[in-house]
Amino acid sequence: MTPTQDMLFRSLADPTRRALFERLCRDGGQTVAALTAKAGVSQPAVSKHLGILKRAGLVRDRQDGRQTHYSAEVKALRPLLDWTSEMASFWDKRIDLLEDLLKRMDQ
Amino acid sequence: MTEAATELRTVTVEREIGYPPEKIWRALTQPHLLQEWLMQTDFVAEPDREFTFRGDWGSVECRVLEVDPPSSLSYTWGAMGLESVVTWTLTPTGSGTHLRMDQTGFRKDQEQAYQGAKIGWRRMIEKLEQVVAEETGA
């Protein structure tokens, strides 16, 4: 498992966050207030969950006056759907580091 | 059982490196060198030895399968319940080494079953797969 996949799994492992993300995918972008109205948890809790989703790249936010709009970034799920290309890119980067190390070992 | 359900996935990365196999072998097998390019580890190059790679995002549970210095090394690679096998093959060339890494993974049906069991969103993935494909034009 790569760091990216691990982060996506962790972000979506929480049922409240998963529900928020699903709502954004299904119903399109909306404000924190609108999300809170249906989430069954407080607005600070919703904001915290959205922050975690944002760090994982699963949502993006946009300020609109005093309201913050959130929308889903479904593209962020791609690594989960494509294990092969994700692992290939992981090893490619690691072998770059290996080559750097081999150069330093020479000195 | 369909053919697709039993198909293994393989990732291969190949690289021409301007150093001899012996030197690359050291970087593949010595923990203080492994941690510089891969992850922190308690690796010991002995068949059947269990070891761990630790990254800041989690750890990978491994077991040594085959050690044939300086040309071949393989170990299991288990992370988040998904099992695969990593094999390094070093072939000397005129100017250095042809390095090849193969990672052969679990069956496709097992992977999806695991993901579904792990966080209960298998159906969502299936739904979203189509959306992602449309959004990214893949």
Residue pLDDT tens, chain A, 107 long:
566 777 887 888 788 898 899 889 888 899 999 999 988 899 999 999 999 999 989 999 999 888 899 999 877 877 666 667 777 888 988 999 999 999 998 65
Q: Do A97 and B15 touch (CB under 8 A)?
A: no
The total domain count for chain A is 1
Contacts of A53 in chain B (CB under 8 A): none
Structural domains in chain B plus CATH codes: 8-106 (3.30.530.20), 107-138 (no CATH)
How far is the alpha carbon of B127 from chain A, nearest alpha carbon, in Å?
10
Report pTM: 0.56
Domain holding A72, by residue range, is 3-77
State yes or no: ipTM above 0.85. no
**DSSP state letters, chain B:** --TGGGPEEEEEEEEEESS-HHHHHHHHH-HHHHHHHT-EE----STT-EEEEEETTEEEEEEEEEEETTTEEEEEEEETTEEEEEEEEEEEETTEEEEEEEEEEEEHHHHHHHHHHHHS-HHHHHHHHHHHHHHHT-
Q: Establish if A37 belongs to a structural domain.
A: yes
Q: Do A91 and B101 touch (CB under 8 A)?
A: yes
State the CATH number of the domain containing residue A10: 1.10.10.10
Q: Establish if A87 belongs to a structural domain.
A: no
